[in-house]
């Protein structure tokens, strides 16, 4: 049983970030004007181009990489996604976690567990509804583990993840782009054990953004 820690996809995500850096710099005309300022201003066209490029690169990695959870690579035609939506790129207000129990044991699908750090609560509005998520820290990455009203229907029932570099937090604010939500490796290969989102991270709305899950096609 392979442990599918968040850092596994985070490593691939970092590679994608490097590959897309110059693309984004070229086509984003509204980047942050100074250090410590969130890049909130991005056009729908710029956002769509960035997301589609990242997805293309991820599909290629899943098709060719030894780290891929896809077993039948010869018949793999790409993952399934919602259309990019700028409405699902939200600015969250952060409340640092100040409780006594900073460590949180996260259960895995194989019955084991791992220790994460409670980092902050993220409050935001999506689909016109106020929502809150507990942000966790794992190996220098902000781990957003969540379920929503698409879980078990159009997306993986065990929940989805978003990885965000810690340095993207600015002045107790953070951009959470649900278009980057992805399924854990165990959705595609049962030999992987994947972390389960904490119960409090079940959103009351449907997040129709990011990676879908079509079991019979993988």
pLDDT of amino acid 126: 97
Residue 21, Cβ neighbours under 10 Å: how many? 10
pLDDT band at 38 (very low <50, low <70, confident <90, very high): low
Tens of pLDDT along 118-130?
999 999 999 999 9
The two tokens of residue 146 are 């969540």
**Could you write out the three-class secondary structure of 159-201?**
CEEEEEEHHHCECCEEEEEHHHCECCHHHCCCCEECECCCHHH
> Max alpha carbon distance in the chain (Å)?
50
Tens of pLDDT along 69-110?
998 898 999 999 999 999 999 999 999 999 889 999 999 999
Higher per-residue pLDDT: 15 or 91: 91
Angle, CA of 40, 169 and 23, to the nearest 5°: 50
Residue 16 has pLDDT above 90, yes or no: no
pLDDT band at 34 (very low <50, low <70, confident <90, very high): very low
Helix (H/G/I), strand (E/B), else coil: 23: helix
Chain mean pLDDT for the chain: 85
Residue 27 has pLDDT above 90, yes or no: no
Tens of pLDDT along 154-193?
999 999 999 999 999 999 999 999 999 999 999 999 889 9
Domain-by-domain residue ranges, the chain?
2-217
Percent with pLDDT over 90 in the chain: 72
């Amino acid at each position: 049983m392979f442990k599918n820690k968040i850092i596994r996809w985070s490593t691939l995500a970092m590679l994608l970030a490097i590959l897309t850096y110059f693309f984004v710099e070229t086509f984003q005309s509204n980047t942050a004007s100074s250090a410590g300022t969130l890049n909130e201003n991005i056009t729908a066209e710029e956002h769509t181009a960035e997301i589609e490029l990242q997805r293309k690169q991820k599909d290629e990695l899943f098709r060719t990489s030894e780290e891929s959870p896809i077993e039948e690579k010869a018949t793999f035609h790409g993952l399934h996604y919602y259309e990019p939506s700028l409405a699902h790129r939200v600015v969250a207000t952060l409340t640092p976690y100040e409780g006594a129990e900073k460590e949180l044991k996260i259960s895995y699908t194989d019955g084991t567990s791992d220790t994460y750090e409670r980092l902050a609560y993220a409050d935001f509005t999506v689909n016109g509804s106020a929502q809150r998520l507990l942000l966790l820290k794992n190996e220098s990455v902000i781990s957003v583990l969540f379920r929503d009203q698409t879980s078990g229907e159009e997306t993986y029932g065990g929940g989805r993840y978003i990885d965000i570099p810690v340095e993207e937090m600015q002045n107790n604010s953070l951009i959470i782009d649900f278009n980057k939500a992805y399924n854990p490796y165990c959705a595609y290969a049962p030999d992987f054990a994947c972390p389960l989102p904490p119960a409090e991270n079940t959103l009351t709305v449907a997040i129709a953004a990011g990676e879908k899950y079509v079991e019979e096609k993988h």
